[in-house]
Structure 1
Amino acid sequence: MNTENYLNHPTFGLLSRVCVLEQHQELFTTLYAQRLFFLVTHESPGGGMKFESVSRSQARLSLETRLRLLRRSGQYQEYEQLQKILQSTFQS
């Protein structure tokens, strides 16, 4: 989780990964402003990626849902890292 991941969006430029939400879904934000958020779904092999624009509140809710799942499953190290990401991304 310490590695930084980036994607190049055709319209919005470089996106930075906030976190993994599910097995094939990640939350990304615009690199510099962190104002626009995208759910990126990796489709079946060779199927590419699907970008879905989401609001700031939807992005936060998705991240909080992931935090609850991590806490319930006992993955405390990843939980603590994601908690810091939540604070730095949404508490500023």
Structure 2
Amino acid sequence: MSAERYLNHPTFGLLYRVCPAGEAQEVYATLYAQRMFFRVSHHGRGANFDSMPLLDARHLAEQNLLRERRNRSVDLPLWQKLFDQTFI
């Protein structure tokens, strides 16, 4: 897993990366409230922020954990810790 990633949202401030969500997309959460989630699509030099419900973000994060387990990734403990800190 690469180093922690952060983005600055124009309204909600600093966001941290929770997990990947497909090609050129990732799930981010607000740093302080940790209950607002966004699917961020990267394109060119910009990004598109789409808000998403907690359960959808949790589902994507669980899928990411399952994928890491299947691949026997060395990053699994890091993703598991991030999941636990964010959703439990």
Bin of the TM-score, shorter chain as denominator length? 0.7 to 0.9
Which segments of 5 or more consecutive residues in structure 1 lack a partner in the other structure? none
Structure 1 residue 2: Cα displacement: 5.9
When structure 1 is superposed on structure 2, of 34-43 and 18-27 the one drifting more is 18-27
Q: Give the TM-score of the pair, scaled to structure 1.
A: 0.83
Q: Deviations over 1:31-80 (max 9, x none)?
A: 1110100111112x34x2111101111110000011111122221x2222
Q: Deviations over 1:18-39 (max 9, x none)?
A: 2233341111111111010011
Q: Which amino acid aligns with 1:17?
A: R
Across the aligned residues of Structure 1 and Structure 2, the Cα RMSD in angstroms comes to 1.6
Aligned equivalents of 1:38, 1:72: Cα separation in 2: 26
Which segments of 5 or more consecutive residues in structure 2 lack a partner in the other structure? none
Aligned equivalents of 2:57, 2:86: Cα separation in 1: 10
Aligned equivalents of 2:71, 2:22: Cα separation in 1: 14
Q: How many residues align structurally?
A: 88
Q: Which amino acid aligns with 1:89?
A: T
Task: Report which structure shows greater RCO (CA 8 Å, sep ≥6).
Answer: 2
Q: Where has structure 1 moved over 2 Å in runs of 4 or more?
A: 1-4, 19-23
**Percent same amino acid at aligned positions?**
45
